[in-house]
A and B are shown apart, each in its own frame.
Chain A
């Protein structure tokens, strides 16, 4: 069974999207550990270690995702989570910026997939199946 760690990063308390993602992933057969809102990088990583997760799904809506996500991949590597899938999505930067540019910056930070605002949860499900060969 594919195991996911799900949560809203940083000081962000937007809970509705998090609940929707939890239900969609669970209904699609994933085993989800949902950390809820205001989750630090360390909490994502610690949960992923204990759960032996296949992917970490990071949400952010309040615009400061870029600050919250810096160094995430490095910390994963430090914690022995080599090769774990890292997804991020939502309103992840301040203001209106070109999504291609935003995506490039997050990919450079080590995220495997970057989703713009308005992405349907099913799209993330398709990407997970593709990336994990499941």
Chain B
């Protein structure tokens, strides 16, 4: 037997499943309330309940995903609603994030105040294909440079002005990424998805009281990865998860595209 422990830190419950990966068998499942003050308290309780079912087990590995504390919230900004704004939203969904709101064209003072109020975990600023429109993303960077927002800002717009945008936002935590739409109608979501995921692990998961060495990815991203793995042998799949929060619906697209649709 090779036992592994899988944890899902949810907003309500911390769920654990013990699996014998050698024999592909579930050894036991248990859950306890997620504890807000220190997430370890709830985890310990769930572990106790699991051990009552399975007896003492030496685990080879422990992996976790998390949607606790509301998961990973993002505000996405693009230029044209059906183009870069949509691309930005898709990148967020693909990374397992919750898009609190998305904006298009030039941000107003009211928009910036609204973003401050929404207080997302991070901001994704896009706009313009490479070598295309730079006015909007530069304007939006200027507007955000005055915002009361201390979290990470991912810049993934027109490559021609990416460094100018980063310069305007100096003083903020800025991460520059490849453009989400480098040419008209061409999506390039992976770099932003990877950046969101790594920021989630290195900063946000830790800030939310999770052990960054344990948590691999936000729960919706974990669901998507699981579905992609299953669909490689089962064929096309659609999964609907009736959770306490808005249920995510995931549709992994055919193998090779490495894209998927995720909606909440």
Contacts and interface: CB of A to CB of B under 8 A. Distances in A.
Interface of A: 1, 3, 31, 33, 35, 46-47, 49-53
Contacts of A51: 128-129, 131-133, 184
Contacts of B257: none
A31 B83 CA distance: 19
A47 B135 CA distance: 15
Interface size classification for chain B: 10 to 19
A50 B79 contact: yes
Interface in B133-159: 133-135
Nearest to A43: B82
B97 interface: no
Nearest to B129: A50
A73 B234 CA distance: 51
A33 B79 contact: no
Contact of B83 (A3, A35, A50, A53): A50
Interface centre among B129, B132, B183 (most CB of A within 10 A): B132
A45 to B, nearest CB: 9
B181 interface: yes
Contacts of B82: 46
Nearest to B130: A51
A33 B183 CA distance: 8
Interface centre among A31, A47, A52, A53 (most CB of B within 10 A): A52
Contacts of A49: 79-80, 133
